Amino acid sequence: MAPIPHNHHSCSCCHSHEKHEQAHSHGHHDPHEHSHSHEHEEGSLRGRIVLIIVTALLLGVAVYVEKHLQMATWQLLLVYLVPYLLVGHETLGEAAEGIAHGDVFNEDFLMTVATLGALTIGFLPGAETEFPEAVFVMLFFQVGELFEGYAEGRSRDSIAHLVNIRPDVAHVEREGQTLDVSPEAVSVGEVVVIRPGEKVPLDGVVEEGTSALNTVALTGESLPREVVEQDEVLSGCINLSGVIRVRTTKAFGESTVSRIIALVESADESKSRSESFITRFARIYTPIVVCAALILAFIPPLLTEAGFAASFATWLHRSLIFLVVSCPCALVISVPLTFFGGLGGASRHGILVKGSNFMDVLARLDTVVFDKTGTLTRGVFAVEAVHPDHFNERELLHLAAHVEHYSTHPIGAALRAAFPEESTDGCRVEHVEEVAGRGIRAIVEGRQVCVGNARMMTDLGAMPHECHLVGTVIHVAVDGVYAGHIVITDQVKTDSREAIALLKKEGVHHTVMLTGDREAVAAHVAQELGLDEYHAELMPADKVTHVERLLREEAATGSLAFVGDGINDAPVLKRADLGIAMGALGSDAAIDAADVVLMDDNPSKIALAVRIARRTIRIARQNVWFAIGVKVAVLLLATVGIGTMWMAVFADVGVTVLAVLNAMRALR
Q: At what angle do helices 329-347 and 655-663 cross, to 10 degrees?
A: 10
The sheet that has 439-444: what strands, in order across it? 377-388, 481-492, 472-478, 447-452, 439-444, 429-435
Judge contact between 296 and 640, C-beta under 8 A: no
Q: Are strands 238-239 and 211-214 parallel, antiparallel or unpaired?
A: antiparallel
- Cβ atoms within 10 Å, residue 222: 8
Judge contact between 659 and 626, C-beta under 8 A: yes
Return the beta strands (E) in 341-413 as ranges.
351-353, 365-371, 377-388
The sheet that has 578-582: what strands, in order across it? 351-353, 596-598, 578-582, 559-564, 365-371, 510-514, 533-535
Judge contact between 508 and 366, C-beta under 8 A: yes
385 CA to centre of own chain: 41
- Cβ atoms within 10 Å, residue 611: 16
Three-state SS string over 532-579 comes to CEEECCCCHHHHHHHHHHHHHHHCCCCEEEEEECCHHHHHHHHHCCEE
Examine the residue annotation and report whether 168 is marked as an active-site residue of this protein: no
Distances (CA, A) of 169 to 36, 332, 359, 480: 19, 41, 35, 60
Q: Which of 108, 203, 268, 371 is catalytic?
A: 371
Distance from C-alpha of 448 to C-alpha of 648, rounded to nearest angstrom: 93
Helix (H, G, I), strand (E, B) or coil at 104: coil
Q: Is the dihedral of CA 285, 291, 295, 296 positive or negative?
A: positive
The amino acid at residue 525 is V
Distance from C-alpha of 350 to C-alpha of 338, rounded to nearest angstrom: 19
Q: Are strands 429-435 and 439-444 parallel, antiparallel or unpaired?
A: antiparallel
Distance from C-alpha of 363 to C-alpha of 609, rounded to nearest angstrom: 9
Distance from C-alpha of 120 to C-alpha of 130, rounded to nearest angstrom: 8
337 CA to centre of own chain: 14
Burial annotation 120-137 (CB, 10 A radius, 16+ → b, else e)? bbbeeeeeebbbbbbbbb
Distance from C-alpha of 416 to C-alpha of 408, rounded to nearest angstrom: 11
Distance from C-alpha of 134 to C-alpha of 651, rounded to nearest angstrom: 15
Residues sharing a CB contact under 8 Å with residue 330, sequence separation 6 or more, in sequence order: 623, 627, 631, 652, 655, 656, 659
Distance from C-alpha of 573 to C-alpha of 597, rounded to nearest angstrom: 11
Burial annotation 290-301 (CB, 10 A radius, 16+ → b, else e)? bebbeebbeebb
DSSP 224-258: -EEE-TT-EE-TT-EE-SS-EEEEE-S-GGGSHHH
Residues sharing a CB contact under 8 Å with residue 125, sequence separation 6 or more, in sequence order: 309, 310, 313
Containing 171, the helix (H) or strand (E) segment is strand 170-174
Distance from C-alpha of 252 to C-alpha of 201, rounded to nearest angstrom: 8
Q: Catalytic residues, which ones?
A: 371
